[in-house]
Chains A and B, each alone.
Chain A
Amino acid sequence: MTLLTETTELKKCTACDEEISQYAHFCHHCGTLQSAPDELPLNQKMDKLWEAIAFFGIELTICCLFGFIESFHTIKGEIVTVSLLAVNKTVFIVRNWSKIKPVFTWNSWSFPKLMLYTAIAVLASVTVHYTTQWLNVSIFSGNVYYFPFFQKYRFAALLMVLFVAVLPAVTEEFGFRGFMLRQFLAITDQQQALGITSLLFAFVHLSFLSLFWLIPFAWFLGYVRIKEETIWYGVVMHFCFNLTTCLFELLYIHPYPIPNLP
């Protein structure tokens, strides 16, 4: 309910400059609709939606190429995939650079906050590690590891950290929390934008069993990105989460060859 008398904060009407309640949808004097400054017309919202879907469609196609085509399961295939994904993200970020530029800055840098988010990421990763191991063994009678893929190459551990922890943390945060979340925030409310981005981020990993942790993890990354108005805390969290997974493999599941669990 909007009562002029109950509001102390005022704003000016966008059409007649009359002072009106900041909660008023319409000017009481001239009747003009007072849209939010960032509120887009319907056709522009649709354009943003289709742009986000185009981004996601390309992203999904590239992930499917790597996920399902055997000849891509080499380090060269990995490099091609990561490069294609990076190009896709760069194109869409550059196209919208003026709008999304603010979230790529890190003006209010805080060390305690960074430590807190890092601790949350590491704890979440440990929990997910044990839970997925248990689920994989219970359902699939085996486990999936990253290291065997890199094992045959020189600097295997470094390659693994680069391709599992560093590159996904940077590119996925740029693409999903940098570009895509911004698109959906322009289309719908914050809660729905967070929901869509989290679900699409989880789906693109093409692992239905991992949805149980991917969705809340992505939601939290999106929440941090909105709360802190920067993607960099998210990048660090994502990196720490993935690095913890790598370290589990390198420290505890070492020495290789890594067998399937009975």
Chain B
Amino acid sequence: MPDITIILEYNLNLIPIMETTQASAIVNCPACFDQVNQASYCTSCGYPIQGTAEEQQNFIDQRYAMQIDLDEYEKKIKRAKNYLFFLSAVCLIWAFIGYHNGVDLATKNALLAINVILSTLFLVLAVWSKAKPTAALISGLVLYVIINVVNLVADPTTIIKGIIFKILIIAYFIKAINAAIAAEKLRKDHNL
């Protein structure tokens, strides 16, 4: 993926970048750096290779705007990823608190095992969210909601505890899922 600064750099110097590499048949696209035949448009990103300077400028501007959108989406995804790490840490802490406070060995073991499993799951989802954010974030949100439902059934007062924080986490997850799907589509459609 080309960096914004690189796009801007080439934006100022469009013509020289179109260096021919194979007996003037192949050119490097100034927008996506892919090698393409000297056709009217780049087949990878749609850059108007033989367009006017204005058309080329407009294309670069649009691509720059898309890159800014993509960066915004990435920020939201990264924030949700950090929540997954945070939830993993919280579950791990609860595993040890549960084990310490358990009334008998069976309860201690059960609380430890369940919370360690949940902690591991959140950790795996957080790591997975780097490569596959849509799947990891949807699964993370669902797991978080299920844990709260189970806690609600076990002890109805738990739903009130940190309610604003819970709502915020869910809202951020929903925003991040929307961002992940939008980013995926933007990348696919424009080969960003």
Residues of chain A at the chain B interface (Cβ within 8 Å): 1-5, 20-21, 23-33, 35, 39, 42, 45-46, 49, 56, 60, 64, 68, 138-142, 187-189, 191-193, 195-196, 199-200, 203, 206, 208-209, 211-212
Contact = CB atoms under 8 A, between A and B. Distances in A.
Contact of A203 (B37, B142, B184, B191): B142
B66 interface: no
B181 A203 contact: no
Contacts of A141: 105-106, 109
A35 B105 contact: no
15 contacts: A25-B190, A25-B191, A26-B45, A26-B46, A27-B43, A28-B40, A33-B46, A138-B109, A141-B105, A141-B106, A188-B135, A192-B132, A192-B134, A200-B139, A211-B121
Contacts of B121: 211
Contacts of B134: 187-188, 192, 196
Interface size range on B against A: 35 or more
A199 B181 contact: no
Interface of B: 25-26, 34-37, 39-46, 48, 105-106, 109-110, 113-114, 117-118, 121, 128, 132, 134-136, 138-139, 142-143, 146, 149-150, 153, 177-178, 181-182, 184-185, 188-191
Contacts of A208: 114, 117-118
Given A29-B41, A191-B132, A211-B117, A4 B36 contact: yes
A49 B43 contact: no
Nearest to A29: B40
A25 B105 contact: no
Nearest to B147: A208
B114 A4 contact: no
B37 A5 contact: yes
A144 B85 CA distance: 33
Closest 7 A/B residue pairs (Cβ): A28-B39, A31-B41, A192-B135, A24-B43, A26-B46, A199-B139, A195-B135
